[in-house]
């Protein structure tokens, strides 16, 4: 998709030196596109600044389209479709409405000028509303002038714009190995290993995944075992050592039922995967370990959720107090400073995708970042490429990110990867009362809707 101003707008601009904004409208073909057509056939006048892109439904308007429009020079983007209740596919616009709410919040978090992204319900009979909406939008964008923030990103080629030491990165401190001579620690490890060995012996699990202490990394790392005699290599997990639930999506680790050492973070992730039918209860046998290292036993699903609930204390939406404090600080900044903050963070990204690969929620068979037919966003580790990567990833995780911090711990560049997730988790909780991974019975945030979801921002 290439965004170009209609020729008439360009001609007017060069003749009058009046700023003519480039606008893009993503519209549903059943209502708004027909409304725009009606405006045309009825010879209603409106500025020629808008390039209309027709899609089957508002539910099909991917935020990657919007980001791409802005990064290719749009000064404003409007999305529009059928009024609630009128969707040709029953509920596409209800789902779109939730996503627009979250996407607007994400833009606001980033320090983006929200006036440049507008939403409207325009039916096939509302040619007059279409013409008036585009007139108003064009006037507003003329008054605002060109949108330069996204264009500045194009000049950034991935070089750090601030020294690493000057930027909060929140990488958890590396943990020294547990002293093996500590009798309490040894007893806990042995209890865990014994329970897993027994499950492998009676064949109630086909394999197990837990943690072992890596002597070279000096921190726990995942351990995959298939025989009872291997269980004595298992140790206790640390507080911030990745999330084993990601292994359930590993294409080569398909044996089931799988025994898994679960902490609170794994349990939340498993709840989300179960909500999304990506994992079934009978696929996983849970060996619960509390944050303080106590082995809580081999538990069924609900018992594990209840037993690990105490470990959520002090965390907000699953995120640590340190992450929450930094999010609060960033959100209190003026929008221009927020924009600079995220630019600084994103500029350090080298696009290694370690954050994605360590995340229990990033499990698409083919990630958008790896697709080149079509290429959804630039793959280079430059300004536009990094911006698109972080924003799209954060949006895909909205309502799903459980705050485990595995992404942040994995990032070699020290990017504060999970801060956007923490900020969006506040939106999900505030607008929809949604807490990712609180229960496997909740509906996935972006796949569900309520007919009375907020829409005060939609014209
Ligand atoms: S994005 Fe969220 S769920 Fe994924 S690794 Fe980071 S903190 Fe964990
Ligand atoms: S792990 Fe860090 S450097 Fe690698 S893609 Fe993610 S944010 Fe970028």
Q: Which of 142, 63, 49 is nearest to 446 (CA)?
A: 63
Domain identity same for 19 and 129: yes
Tell the residue nearest (CA) to atom 8 of ligand 1.
404
Q: Please name the residue ranges forming H helices in 57-209.
A: 63-71, 92-110, 127-144, 149-153, 183-201
Domain assignment of residue 376, given as a range? 164-171+316-432
From 296, 312, 328, the end of a domain falls on 312
Q: Taking the chain, what is the end-to-end CA distance rounded to the nearest angstrom?
A: 26
Does 277 share its domain with 391? no
Last residue of one domain, picked from the residues 288, 312, 336: 312
From residue 355, give the alpha-carbon distance in Å to each of 128, 227, 350, 417, 448.
47, 31, 11, 7, 27
Do 261 and 383 share a domain, yes or no? no
pLDDT tens, position by position, 134-144? 999 999 999 99
Pairing of strands 219-225, 117-121: unpaired
DSSP state of 282: G
The answer to whether residue 453 sits within a structural domain is no
Are residue 111 and residue 54 in the same domain, yes or no?
yes
Q: What's the rounded Cα separation, in Å, for the pair 146 and 154?
A: 15
Question: What is the per-residue pLDDT for 161?
Answer: 46
Same domain, 302 and 324: no
User: Ligand 2: does its nearest atom lie under 6 Å from the Cβ of 355?
Assistant: yes
Identify whether residues 301 and 358 lie together within a single domain.
no
Assess whether 295 and 341 both reside in one domain: no
**Paired tokens of 418:** 């999970």
**Residues 142, 229 within the same domain:** no
Flag whether pLDDT at 334 surpasses 90: yes
Mean pLDDT of the chain: 88
Class of residue 329 by CB neighbours under 10 A (exposed 0-12, middle 13-18, buried 19+):
exposed
pLDDT at 4: 41
Whether pTM exceeds 0.85: yes
Q: Tell me the chain's radius of gyration from C-alpha atoms.
A: 25
Whether residue 177 lies inside any domain: the answer is no
178 assigned to some structural domain: no
Confirm whether 249 is domain-assigned: yes
How confident is the model at residue 3, as a pLDDT? 40
- Whether 443 lines ligand 2, by a CB cut-off of 6 Å, is no
**Is 59 in contact with 93 (CB distance < 8 Å)?**
yes
Same domain, 140 and 11: yes
Q: Is the CB of 350 under 6 A from ligand 2?
A: yes
Atom of ligand 2 at shortest range from CA of 389: 5
Distance of alpha carbon 459 from alpha carbon 455, whole angstroms: 9
Q: How far is the CA of 257 from the centre of ligand 1 (A)?
A: 24
Evaluate if residue 162 carries a pLDDT over 60: no
Tens-digit pLDDT profile for residues 227-279: 999 999 998 887 666 899 999 988 778 899 999 999 999 999 999 999 999 99
Atom of ligand 1 nearest to the CA of 265: 8
CATH code of residue 115: 3.40.50
| Total number of domains constituting the chain | 3
Q: Which residues contact 156 (CB under 8 A, 6 or more apart)?
A: 343, 347, 382, 383
Q: Are residues 11 and 143 part of one domain?
A: yes
Quick one: pLDDT at residue 10? 54
Residue 91 has pLDDT above 60, yes or no: yes
Distance, CA 135 to ligand 1 centroid (Å)?
42
| pLDDT, tens digit, 9 for 90 and up, residues 391-423 | 999 999 999 999 999 998 889 998 989 899 999
Among 14, 12, 22, smallest CA distance to 52 is for 22
Indicate which residue's Cα is closest to atom 5 of ligand 1: 359
Judge whether 36 lies within some domain: yes
The answer on 123 and 21 residing in a single domain is yes
Q: Is the residue at 440 inside a domain?
A: no
| Pairing between β-strand 219-225 and β-strand 207-214 as defined by DSSP bridges | antiparallel
Domain co-membership, 414 together with 333 = yes
**Hey, whose CA ends up nearest to atom 4 of ligand 1?**
359
| Residues pairing with 458 in the sheet | 119
- CA–centroid distance, residue 75 to ligand 1 (Å): 32
CA-wise closest residue to 368 among 65, 27, 139: 65
| Residue 172: how many other CB atoms lie within 10 Å | 15
**Domain-terminating residue out of 287, 312, 337:** 312
pLDDT at position 105: 96
In a domain, 156, yes or no: no
Asked if the structure places residue 157 within a domain, the reply is: no
């Amino acid at each position: 998709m290439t965004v170009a101003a209609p020729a008439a707008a360009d001609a007017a601009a060069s003749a009058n030196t009046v700023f003519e904004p480039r606008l893009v409208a993503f519209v549903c073909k059943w209502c708004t596109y027909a409304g725009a057509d009606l405006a045309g056939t009825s010879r209603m006048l409106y500025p020629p600044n808008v390039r209309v892109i027709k899609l089957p439904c508002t539910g099909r308007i991917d935020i990657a389209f919007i980001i791409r429009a802005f990064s290719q020079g749009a000064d404003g983007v409007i999305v529009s479709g059928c009024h609630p209740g009128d969707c040709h596919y029953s509920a596409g616009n209800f789902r779109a409405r939730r996503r627009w709410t979250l996407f607007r919040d994400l833009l606001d978090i980033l320090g983006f000028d929200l006036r440049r992204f507008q939403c409207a319900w325009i039916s096939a009979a509302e040619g007059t509303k279409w013409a008036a909406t585009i007139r108003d939008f064009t006037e507003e964008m003329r008054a605002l002038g060109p949108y330069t923030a996204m264009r500045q990103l194009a000049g950034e080629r991935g070089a750090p714009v601030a020294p690493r030491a000057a930027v909060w990165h929140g990488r958890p401190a590396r943990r020294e190995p547990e002293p093996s001579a500590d009798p309490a620690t040894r007893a806990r490890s042995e209890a865990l290993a014994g329970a897993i060995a027994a499950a492998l012996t009676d064949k109630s699990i086909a394999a197990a995944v837990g943690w072992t202490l890596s002597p070279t990394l000096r921190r726990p790392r995942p351990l995959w075992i298939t025989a009872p005699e291997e269980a004595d290599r298992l140790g206790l997990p640390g507080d911030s050592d990745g999330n084993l639930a990601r292994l359930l999506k590993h294409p080569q680790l398909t044996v089931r039922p799988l025994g898994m050492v679960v902490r609170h973070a794994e349990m939340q992730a498993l709840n989300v995967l179960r909500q999304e039918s990506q994992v079934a209860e009978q696929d996983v046998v849970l060996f619960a370990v509390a944050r303080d290292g106590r082995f809580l036993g081999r538990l069924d699903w609900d018992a594990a959720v209840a037993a690990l609930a105490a470990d959520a204390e002090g965390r907000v939406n699953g995120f640590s107090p340190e992450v929450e404090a930094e999010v609060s600080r960033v959100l209190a900044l003026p929008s221009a400073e927020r924009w600079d903050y995220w630019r600084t963070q994103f500029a350090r990204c080298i696009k290694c995708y370690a954050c994605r690969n360590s995340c229990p929620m990033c499990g698409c068979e083919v990630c958008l970042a790896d697709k080149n037919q079509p290429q959804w966003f630039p793959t280079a580790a430059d300004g536009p490429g990094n911006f698109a990567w972080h924003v799209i990833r954060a949006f895909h995780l909205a309502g799903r990110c459980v705050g485990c911090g595995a992404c942040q711990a994995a990032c070699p560049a020290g990017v504060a990867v999970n801060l956007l997730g923490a900020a969006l988790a506040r939106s999900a909780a505030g607008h929809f009362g949604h807490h990712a991974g609180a229960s496997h019975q909740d509906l996935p945030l972006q796949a569900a809707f309520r007919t009375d979801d907020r829409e005060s921002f939609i014209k």
